[in-house]
Amino acid sequence: MTEALTLSRGNDEFGLFVAGIQGRLQRTAWLLTGNWAEAEDLVQSSLAKVWRRWDRVCETDSPEAYARKLLLNTFLSSRRRRWIGERADEAPQPAPVGDPADLVAVQVSVRSALARLSSRQRAAVVLRFFDDLSETQVAEALGCRVGTVKSTTAKALERLRIHPGMRQLLQEAQP
């Protein structure tokens, strides 16, 4: 009886955890993969791994950091394989605000520029600037030193700046 109560309490805690983090993980996964369906699979795989270790994860200081690191490791290990698997077609996007052509142009530029980065560079940029993590947090997530994060991010930003679509976006963003 006590074991069933503990398992039920663990399910409730995990359900609340997933409800609170799933949107952020989905956004991060989409930025990493560039594909909504692939991002959903990545989040689902990562959360399944978190669930298997939930009794230990919930005792850590930051279960969210643990889940993000698992997501990142799953993404990076999938990129090391030769065959990635089937890729689903892109899911329909919600109706854009403003001029749809401008929004599509920005999305295409950002996706194209991110696709030219290595998996590690892309992960560093997404975690650092889109997830707004500190260099220390990114280093923990990537399992490297802060200096490595700084150099990887600097090289990635350099590659992004020379991408034609990003160059135009950066010029438009400056006053």
pLDDT digits (tens, 9 = 90+) for 149-161: 999 999 998 988 8
For the domain covering 1-81, report its CATH number.
1.10.1740.10
**Who wins on pLDDT, 163 or 101?**
163
For the domain covering 98-175, report its CATH number.
1.10.10.10
**Mean pLDDT, residues 91-115:** 74
For residue 53, the 8-state DSSP code is: T
- What is the chain's mean pLDDT, rounded? 82
In whole angstroms, how far apart are CA 134 and each of 63, 140, 151, 160? 17, 10, 14, 20
pLDDT tier for residue 82 given thresholds of 50, 70 and 90: low
Output the pTM of the full model.
Answer: 0.61
Domain spans of the chain, in order of start: 1-81, 98-175
**Angle at which helices 2-33 and 36-52 cross, to 10°:** 150
